[in-house]
Amino acid sequence: MNPAEPAQVELAKKLLETVRHASYATVNEDGTPHNSPLMLIYNEDLTKLYIGTYSESLHTKNLVRTGKTFAVLYDSFTKGQGGVYITGVNAHECEGDELVEALRVHNTFRAKHGSQPIDIGYYQAAKPSQRMYSIDIAKIEVYSALRDENGLMISEARVPVEAKELLEDNA
């Protein structure tokens, strides 16, 4: 497979920096799809996603049951020029030191967007309540579509990229 084009990587970097919510896909018990817009929270080396969410929500139950999700982020204001696809595995509820780390990452994202930090007790309250979940990033792909003169897609590509490519600073 060909490596990602520089323009694809640059758009993916921009999306990771600016998109606040991603669409997280999970699978219901009966095999039907379920999709939820959730805050996009990832650690500094882009190896983990974190989700702070209600412990009894359908997407949470699906995450815990299957351990898997598929997150998509894109710029809905452009003509489908590209996006980032993230395959997540080993989803589970954070506890102990892992919760402390997840909350540190979450509060960093909150501060970036002008929100106050959340105290750890918020995620430790009796259930049902909000909980923090950790998901290992198994694969990252950049997406691009080729369009004709009418703006209709005539081909598309999903190209795997390494996290380090998306974290490199080209300044």
Gap between the Cα atoms of 164 and 161, Å rounded: 8
Is CATH 3.30.300.130 what the domain over 6-167 is classified as, yes or no?
no
Q: Give the separation between CA 76 and CA 53, rounded to whole angstroms.
A: 24
> Where are the chain's structural domains?
6-167
- Contact between 26 and 114 under an 8 Å Cβ cutoff? The reply is no
pLDDT at 153: 80
Do 123 and 36 form a contact (C-beta atoms < 8 A)?
no
**Section 71-78 average pLDDT:** 82
Per mean pLDDT, which range of 77-86, 108-117, 137-146 is the poorest?
A: 77-86
Q: With beta carbons less than 8 A apart as the criterion, state whether 96 and 102 touch.
A: no
Residue 148: pLDDT over 90: no
Mean pLDDT confidence for 58-79? 90
Q: Tokens 């990252």 belong to which residue?
A: 140
- Which percentage of the chain shows pLDDT scores above 90? 67
pLDDT: which is higher, 153 or 65: 65
* Type of residue numbered 38: L
- Average the pLDDT over 70-98 and give the result: 88
Which of the residue ranges 57-66, 70-79, 81-90, 115-124 would you say has the lowest mean pLDDT? 70-79
- pLDDT average, residue stretch 137-143: 94
pLDDT of 111 over the 60 cut: yes
Average pLDDT, the chain: 90
Mark residue 107 as left, alpha or beta (left: phi above 0; alpha: psi -120 to 50; beta: remaining): alpha
pLDDT of 171 higher than 50: no
Q: What is the pLDDT of residue 2?
A: 59
